Structure 1
Amino acid sequence: MSESRSSLAAAWERDAVKIGVLLGGIYLAYFLVGVLLDYGVRGQLNSIASLTFYVALFALLSLALNLHWGYTGLFNIGVVGFMAVGIYVMAVVSKAPTTETAAGSVGGLGLPLWVGVLAGMAAAGFLGLLIAIPALRLRADYLAIVTVATSEMVRFTFLSSTFERVEVGGLVVGFGGGSGLLLDFGSPVRQLFEALFLGGVYEGVVSLVGTVIDNNPEPVADGLLYGVILLGAVAGYYVLLNRLGNSPFGRVLKAIREDEDAANALGKDTNGFKTKAFVVGCALMGLGGILWYMTSGAITPNTYRPRLTFFIWIALIIGGAGSNTGSVMGGALFAALLFQGPRFLQSVVTNFVAVEAPSSFGQALAPIAGSADLAPLAFYMLDSVRQLQLIVMGVVLVFLMHRRPQGLLGHRKEAAASVPLRTRSNDGAYTDGGESDE
């Protein structure tokens, strides 16, 4: 019995097991909700695809932010600006070209989708470099002000009529201004699979889904396959940041986070290290923006408001800054419970209870004073769950900062080196270099 317990404890110490158990529990809960709501096969598959989409993207962006804050101590609250640069540059590079001059007709350069993805990442990284050169000499609150101001400058630049439509070499390109930009890529998921030489896999999955869904199975298959792509991106981010954290470069970043003056005194070019980390993190955030919005059909600048940055910060704080495993778990919990959860709770309750919500907050409070009836207030809150969602997030954030500032996994010991530093025990050798008398 003790051996089985010790083996379970040893398995639980593995980060992959923690992530797997959490994701398994989340998917099981959403599946049971789908059964309660009588979703059917198509509804269940769409629910799984939507859940995977948000879980993967919040995990992915939390990992990118963890490189800035968790590893290096860079207080970046302009994440959404780098996401916007990534998707807009990708759209300009990969949209179909047009020569029409009519109002609202904006095309692109017509390059392959994968080229646009790389261009969007490069543009986000370059913007990070432009910010890093002057701003990383600042610390704490000052850097935060610069990054959030930059994200707003990006949004207003995309809103500007100056860059709405520009003729370049006979082609009409631009950012679309306040009207937004159409993303007419056809089937981005199919293109991504074909770019990875997996076109046969795509067709096979569409055919498989078609065996259980008679009517238009391709959108359902696209959602599921895109979820697989996003989970693959999360795994890639995770491996990259783990290797980076255990490398000499990553150990210098952690030294800068703990005491930049001490790291500088030891001869490390702290500004250079911070600049590199900032640029890499911004490029990863650009990729996150591309993956989030490339299948949306259209984008508008006002989508990229600061609140999305704070969603990502909450996800990182839930998991614990400095922990890649915590970043993934925090992103998953935020997406499932705080971002998507209220909508599912509303659907479950209204499916079993006839809800007649008051039309105003005053009408919801009046029965409490008269007869202590809390039902109207509860129904009003349920009907306004989307508006109250931000309040709930704020309460959760305040609670975590007071009760669990170290995050879900708590304080974790970090490796001092990428190889074990302990000396192997040997009968004929001593750690001080002496020789045996035998």
Structure 2
Amino acid sequence: MPSRYLSFRCSVPWLLLLLQALFLSRAFFAFPSADDINFSSSVYPVFQDVNHMVIFGFGFFLMVLRRYGYSSTGFNFLLIVLGVQFSVLVEDLLLLLRIQYSAFGVESLARAVMSMTAVVISAGAVLGKANPVQLIVMSLVELILFHVSRCINSKYLKVPENLTLMHVHLFGAYFGLAVTSRFPEPPPGLDKNRSSPKSELFSVLGTVFVWMFWPSFNSILAELQFQAMLSTYLALAVSAVAAFMLSALTSKDGKFRMAHIHSAVLAGGVTMSFTAIIIKHPWIAMILGLLGSVISILGSHCLQRCFNPPLKLQDTSGVHFTFGLPAVLGAVAAVVLRVVEKGIIEQWSDLPSLGYLIFLEVGAFCQTISTAFITGLITGLILNIKLLKAVHVSKYFDDQFYWEFPHLSVGF
């Protein structure tokens, strides 16, 4: 490797070896044998869908940069297989502390994979800027903080445990935005942070896979799985149609923009994460899917042109308007639907009870956003210390800094 490139031989392999030895030792002493593992054959097919979605779907979803294709898919896979083990380890620690009471099995693996969605979303915000060591440290810190946020929501704000996992989009988006705001801005003349037709095609391929498997993601831990699947699919379908409609209406020449399709078709699934199990009428899910697509496309215009430059938000793959804003919409919709449902049941007679419900519901997602943003800022400062070998801004968005190439990486 040329001398101008930084070698990670003395850091990444040894860090991975240390972490893997830790996971292996904990599994040897703590995890049950195969005969004692809690296994449900009905959960495994849905678990496969979620696994495909997170590894394959998000791996290609992040391939938006023309010279960062190897790193987008490769680092995503590394973070997931490492983070799933660490997430199981954190859940085991919570079990020892009597904070959580779920046994090890397929459902715990499903929760671990779903928790990694927060990390993948955050990685999309810092895409091309963080080196492997920084990404690994960010993943481990974020998983711990996300589980802490889940425990606060579950123990103090009375959020059901399966719904605490649905905050992954809120937590991942705002944690990633806070982390990336602590990285130096790339120079104005740097053109490697652009996409190409090939990278956009691969990215939309990942979007299609995420779109296909999102109903399984929203329903895997739900009690009413069919209801959650139906509501999520309808919302996704409407958001996809709305994405094409709004893309043609908002572009200057009336043509479809791949960037709009890349982000807005998933908005319905993100919006339904909080509300899929409480929606009784399909038309409500369809309206939320439409609103999710609208807020995603309009948000991309407003954020990129009006808010990102003065606030210095460096959102490489647009996770704010792809996941953050639709998740906020879904959280607000969940509060409204729960209040209306409770008000109809009690005939609006117990207003203090409704006020307490609103306080808990609003407090849960406000706590998630504030915890993600504050801890993200602190994590961003930690990631830029000299020990973690931060990459120079001139080497942002370049595969050649990390991968061996028989040719130049211009094709991606």
TM over 0.5: no
Q: Greater CA radius of gyration, 1 or 2?
A: 1
TM-score by length of 1: 0.27
TM-score by length of 2: 0.29
